[in-house]
Chain A
Amino acid sequence: MAEKKVGSRREFLGKASALRVKMVILGSSGVGKSSLALRFSKDEFKNSSPTVGCAYLTQVVCLHDVTLRFEIWDTAGQEKYHSVTPLYYRGAHAALVVYDISKRESFVRAQLWLRELEKHYIPGETVVGLVGNKTDLPNIRQVSLQEGQSLAESKGLVFMETSAKSGEQTSELLLNIAHRVNQRTMDKDRDLTEWREAECVELYQGNRPHPLTACCPIGP
Chain B
Amino acid sequence: MEEEHQDREQPEIVRCSEPQSHCSPDDTDSLKAAATITLDNTSPAEQGCGTEDPPPCKLDALQEISSTNGPSEPEPEPEPEPEPQPQPQPQGPGGEGPLEASSDQGKVGAGEENGPSEPEGPAVEDDQPENASDSASTDNTLEDSSEFVVTVLARGSLEDQGEGPSSELSEASSPAQAPAPSHRDEDVTAESWRRHRKHVFVLSEAGKPIYSRYGNEEALSSTMGVMMALVSFVQSGDNTIRSIYSGEHGTDEHTVVFMQQGPLVLVSVSCSRQSEQQLRSELLYVYNQIVSMLTQASINRIFERKKNYDLRRLLAGSEKILDGLLNLVDSDPSFLLSAVHCLPLASSLRDSLSQILQKAITPNLVFSILIAKNQLLTIVQEKTVIEDARLEPADLHLLLNLIGASSAFQAGEIWTPICLPLFNPDCYFYAYISYLDPPDCTVCLLLLSTDKEAFYAVADCKRKIDEGMRTQNALRAIAKAQSYSASQVGVSDLRHFMYKPFDVPDNHRQLTQFTSPEMEAPYSSEEERTRLLDLYRYMHSRIHSNSRPLKLIYHVAERETLLAWVTSKFELYTCFSPLVTKASAINAITKLLRWIKKEEDRLFIRNPPKYSTTPNPSKSSRGGKGGPDRQDTTDNGFLSLL
Contact = CB atoms under 8 A, between A and B. Distances in A.
Contact of A216 (B408, B455, B457, B638): B638
Given A41-B412, A49-B406, A57-B412, A216 B84 contact: no
Contact of B623 (A41, A79, A220): A220
A126 interface: no
Contact of A46 (B407, B415, B456, B460): B407
B320 A55 contact: no
Which bracket fits the contact residues of A? Answer: 35 or more
Contacts, number: 168
Nearest to B627: A220
B411 A55 contact: yes
* Chain B CB within 10 A, most for which of A41, A46, A108, A217: A217
Interface in A71-87: 72, 74, 76-84, 87
Interface in B400-440: 402, 405-409, 411-418, 423-424, 426-431, 433
Nearest to B630: A220
Contacts of A34: 408, 411
Interface string A39-57: 0010000101111111111
Nearest to A44: B411
Contact of B629 (A108, A201, A211, A220): A220
B640 A214 contact: yes
Nearest to B635: A217
Interface string A185-214: 000000000000000110100000001011
A116 to B, nearest CB: 10
Interface string B603-642: 0000000000000000000111001010110011110110
B450 interface: yes
B412 A55 contact: yes
Nearest to B321: A52
Interface in A15-33: 28-30
A219 interface: yes
A53 B318 CA distance: 11
B93 interface: no
Contact of B452 (A50, A77, A87): A87
Nearest to B638: A83
Nearest to B629: A220
B413 A200 contact: no
12 contacts: A34-B408, A49-B406, A49-B407, A51-B408, A55-B411, A74-B412, A80-B314, A84-B416, A87-B452, A203-B456, A218-B451, A220-B450
Q: Which 7 residue pairs spanning A and B have beta carbons closest together? A: A53-B416, A83-B637, A50-B317, A216-B637, A57-B412, A220-B427, A219-B450
Interface of A: 28-30, 34, 37-38, 41, 46, 48-58, 72, 74, 76-84, 87-88, 105, 108-109, 112, 200-201, 203, 211, 213-220
